[in-house]
A and B are shown apart, each in its own frame.
Chain A
Amino acid sequence: MATSTPVRHAWRALTALLVITAVLFGINALGVYVFKGSSWTPELALDLQGGTQIILEAQTADGTAPTSEQLDQAVTIIRQRVDASGVGEADVTTEGGKNIVVQIPGQADEETRQRIEAAAQLQLRAVLYAGAPATTFVGEDGEETPYPTPDPTLNSTPTASPTNGSDPAWITDALYAEYLAYDCTDPANDPASAPEDEPLITCDADNTVKYILGPVELDGTSITDASAGLEQTSGQWVVNIKFDDAGTKTFGKISERLYGAEAPLNQFAFVLDGSVLSAPSMNAIILGGNPSISGSFTQETAQALGDQLKYGALPLSFEVVSSDTISATLGSQQLQIGLIAGLIGLVLVAIYSLISYRALGFVIIASLAVMGILTYVMLCILGWRLGFRLSLAGVAGLIVTIGFTADSFIVYFERIRDELRDGKSITGAVEDGWGRAKRTIYISKSINILAAVVLYILADATVKGFAFTLGLTTALDILIFILFTHPVMQLLARTRFFGSGHPLSGLDPTALGAVYRGRAQFRAPSAAAPKTAAERRNAKSRGEAERRQTIAERKQAALAATDAPKPGSKTQEGED
């Protein structure tokens, strides 16, 4: 059987759509089963699954707007704090150049809140004692025994009054017992809020070393700059620090004290949020205020530490601008409401399409179904790859776009009907209507996508969710229009039911008043489907030039009809 070009084209397009769908499902399947990062349900935003959202505004001490580096640093700091509080799956992002959005599943307790809101504090403390982060010891019986909880009767005031920040007299019996039992990974231990004038038990960021540190001797405000650099002689990466005047003096004294002391008393710790960033030992007396930290740094680690010292040094404080707690019950209820609304909307659109376009309504319904499937799998993939979370506004966006999507089909079908009114064959009308409708769809949908992109870039989080779904569905709409609706119409136009313009098909030329006569001279009247392949090709090959002529004729016919409607004339062709 000879297959005409439009039919071949149609099958090719449908195959392409099938391939795209399969690939998308394949990608998500990979995400679910191989990378274990995705799932078969879209990620839900806080307002649908319940949880706490806190929006903080970062403020610098002098009231200037924080730079993007400071903000990034602030996000890192806050992320570490949230992780340290033992809350899983927290989401910390920046927004609009000065806000930090923290999203936590479930209800945030007061401690977590305070921890998040606390100002970033970089402290410099001398090391009194350092060791492995073990909380157990191997006793005489050869078994591993946890250190006991410190006995409250143990001596907790220094026997001799400590003379400086490195004085071992700080370590009382109680403190030492506490140190032994201290578990670095226990979120209940919160060294960030420890008092400044007392010794501190804490660990480094990786929990590989456990420290007892002296009281705070300098804080981050005394550091004016910190940067990574290459040491001239050794060619190693180091972190260079610059102190201000007061800091230079204090640090000079500290270095005199620490230099040559016995390890670990010669170490000096940089503590951010209670966690030790670095505890280098003092290798010289530094009076110029420009110490550098050397060690086994790579360029990256040196830069990271430099940033932490520099921005952690800036006393960024955080003010809560909005805080939301949504109960999980309310969240799931909202989702349910959204889904019911969407379903009702779909059913209504389906009913209206069937009334208005008869059997063609099924094409709209099928297109919307394909749309639904593709949107769903895209949401799963985007949730996995980009961390996209569906919010209530996003759900609203999806429902609203049902109507917007159906519009592209309406534009197309009305165009086909227009072509039929001009007396074209159904196959011809499907092709020519497509040629015209697609231009309209491309330009109008680009406006929609533009709107979505602009909104997405400029708007805040709530609007972003909506803009994203709007943009995504519009793009998918165009894809489906090209790869599904049009090919399906090409194929349907060749069936008996649609091709012959059955009254229920929605393409009945008689009902559409295929008015006009003047065209017969160009080709055979063809209300019925062309019967030979040659005819079909002919119908297809009518190009742009001829179409132009058609329009001029149509105008005349239209005018003729206005002047004197001729009863009966319009059915002339349909009955042939």
Chain B
Amino acid sequence: MRSMSQLGNDLYTGKTSFPFVGRRRLWFLIAALLVIGSVLVPLVRPIQFSIEFTGGSQFTVSSLSNPDQALATEAVQSVVPDAHTKVTTVGDSAVRVQTDQMSPDDTQAVTAALADIYGVDESEVTSSFIGPSWGADVTRQSLWGLAIFLALTFLILALYFRTWKMSAAAIIGVVDVLIITIGIYALCGFEISPAAVIGFLTILAYSLYDTTVVFDKIRENTQEDGEVSGRTFGESVNLAVNQTLIRSINTTVVAILPVGAILFIGAFALGAQTLSDISLSIFVGIIVAAYSTLFVAAPLYSLFRENEPGLAERDARILAARERAIAPA
């Protein structure tokens, strides 16, 4: 097996080359299937929203030696007899109870009842109450943030790369990442919480960042090709993607390691829901972002540009020259 640096060398010179652009029909087909799948998942398995979006009350009792779930239901019903309660055990010493929205008085009473029934101090009972408009506000503002961010990014990239087509490819790639990540999230039945929303927004930033690094190399290769190049436009793009492949792999690994650490610890640790929600979406998103840059954004860019008259003409000339070179041999 080749070492990483040997692979890097071969990718750099073009000795080894993965057909990111060459087989783009296949990649686009896969991407389309993934996107369609992600859109269809919620129809089969509705997306779960956390109580921040649906409204409700939540209590967490920590420092328990015996987290018996039945006790929690009992405690809640002693205060509000007909309340819907959902009890989950968190870690091995805490219980989380989610109920319908409760009045402040009831919240107080349930807190006391829970502390009493589990025999802990009231300060070990964490309570939160969230009105249903709260999560909707968060979402609306996030969507605004998203739209403005994408618009500004489109502009900046178009100015920097001097072509809107690169912006378009990058943005489509990012939207692709977002849809697939949410699809995977829904498929696994994870709840969408405000923390997860933060995660999705981070992925956007990361994904665009990742794409920009690769696109900068593409810009360099294609701009400097000039008339004397022996490569078609698509081949230049492909070489650039291959030349940055080692970087893409290393970046993805390095970015995923700390996130994986949070995810691992957050999943086993009590009450660190914010951490696991954020890290889970980022974990999935980073992998999808790396995939999308290589298999969607870059091939898309070559597709957008190839048919420009100047480039198409040059490509034809190069291919013809190549034919001639091969023919006599």
Who on chain A is nearest to B160 by CB? A443
Is B224 a contact partner of A561 (Cβ separation < 8 A)? Answer: no
Contacts of B13 in A (CB 8 A): 421, 513, 515, 557-558, 561-562
Contacts of A47 in B (CB 8 A): 274
B203-223 near A? 1/0 per residue, CB < 8 Å:
011101110110011001000
Cα–Cα distance between A342 and B265 once the two chains are bound (Å): 10
Who on chain A is nearest to B59 by CB? A325
Is A404 a contact partner of B220 (Cβ separation < 8 A)? Answer: no
A565 interfacial by beta-carbon distance below 8 Å: yes
Closest chain A CB from B139 CB (angstroms): 10
Contacts of B108 in A (CB 8 A): 110
B35-73 near A? 1/0 per residue, CB < 8 Å:
000000000000000001000000010110000000000
Is B9 a contact partner of A512 (Cβ separation < 8 A)? Answer: yes
Closest chain B CB from A407 CB (angstroms): 5
Is A349 a contact partner of B231 (Cβ separation < 8 A)? Answer: no
Is B206 a contact partner of A404 (Cβ separation < 8 A)? Answer: yes
Contacts of B226 in A (CB 8 A): 552
Is B224 a contact partner of A551 (Cβ separation < 8 A)? Answer: yes
A8 interfacial by beta-carbon distance below 8 Å: no
Contacts of B220 in A (CB 8 A): 436, 551
Contacts of B279 in A (CB 8 A): 396, 400
User: How many residue pairs at the A-B interface have CB separations less than 8 Å?
Assistant: 289
Cα–Cα distance between A341 and B260 once the two chains are bound (Å): 9
B residues 224-270 with Cβ under 8 Å of A? 224-226, 228-231, 239, 243-244, 246-247, 250-251, 253-262, 264-266, 269-270
Contacts of A348 in B (CB 8 A): 257-258, 260-261
Is A455 a contact partner of B128 (Cβ separation < 8 A)? Answer: no
Is B145 a contact partner of A396 (Cβ separation < 8 A)? Answer: no
Chain-B contact segment, one of A13-21, A246-254, A409-417 = A409-417
Cα–Cα distance between A345 and B262 once the two chains are bound (Å): 8
Is B145 a contact partner of A454 (Cβ separation < 8 A)? Answer: yes
A183 interfacial by beta-carbon distance below 8 Å: no
Interface size on B, residues (CB 8 A): 97
Closest chain B CB from A102 CB (angstroms): 14
Chain-B contact segment, one of A224-232, A264-272, A445-453, A479-487 = A445-453
Is A513 a contact partner of B231 (Cβ separation < 8 A)? Answer: no
B14 interfacial by beta-carbon distance below 8 Å: yes
A333 interfacial by beta-carbon distance below 8 Å: yes
A residues 289-319 with Cβ under 8 Å of B? 319
Cα–Cα distance between A565 and B107 once the two chains are bound (Å): 75
Cα–Cα distance between A353 and B265 once the two chains are bound (Å): 22
Is B257 a contact partner of A403 (Cβ separation < 8 A)? Answer: yes
Is A463 a contact partner of B229 (Cβ separation < 8 A)? Answer: no
Closest chain A CB from B42 CB (angstroms): 23
Cα–Cα distance between A336 and B265 once the two chains are bound (Å): 11
A residues near B (Cβ < 8 Å) are 47, 55, 57, 96, 99, 107, 110, 113, 319-330, 333-334, 337-338, 340-342, 344-346, 348-349, 352-353, 356, 392-393, 395-397, 399-400, 402-404, 406-407, 410-411, 414, 417-418, 421, 436, 439-440, 443-448, 450-452, 454-455, 457-460, 462-463, 466, 470, 511-513, 515, 548, 551-552, 555-559, 561-562, 565, 570
* Other A-B pairs, 11, CB within 8 Å; known A329-B63, A399-B261, A407-B255: A323-B128, A330-B62, A341-B265, A345-B257, A356-B250, A392-B274, A399-B259, A407-B209, A411-B251, A439-B216, A570-B9
Q: List 20 A-B contacts (CB under 8 A).
A: A99-B137, A113-B104, A321-B133, A330-B126, A333-B269, A337-B275, A341-B261, A344-B261, A349-B257, A400-B259, A414-B244, A444-B209, A444-B212, A463-B145, A463-B197, A551-B224, A552-B228, A558-B12, A558-B14, A558-B239
B residues near A (Cβ < 8 Å) are 3-6, 8-9, 12-15, 17, 52, 60, 62-63, 104, 107-108, 111, 122-131, 133-134, 137-138, 141-142, 144-145, 148-149, 152-153, 156-157, 160, 194-195, 197-198, 201-202, 204-206, 208-210, 212-213, 216-217, 220, 224-226, 228-231, 239, 243-244, 246-247, 250-251, 253-262, 264-266, 269-272, 274-275, 278-279, 282
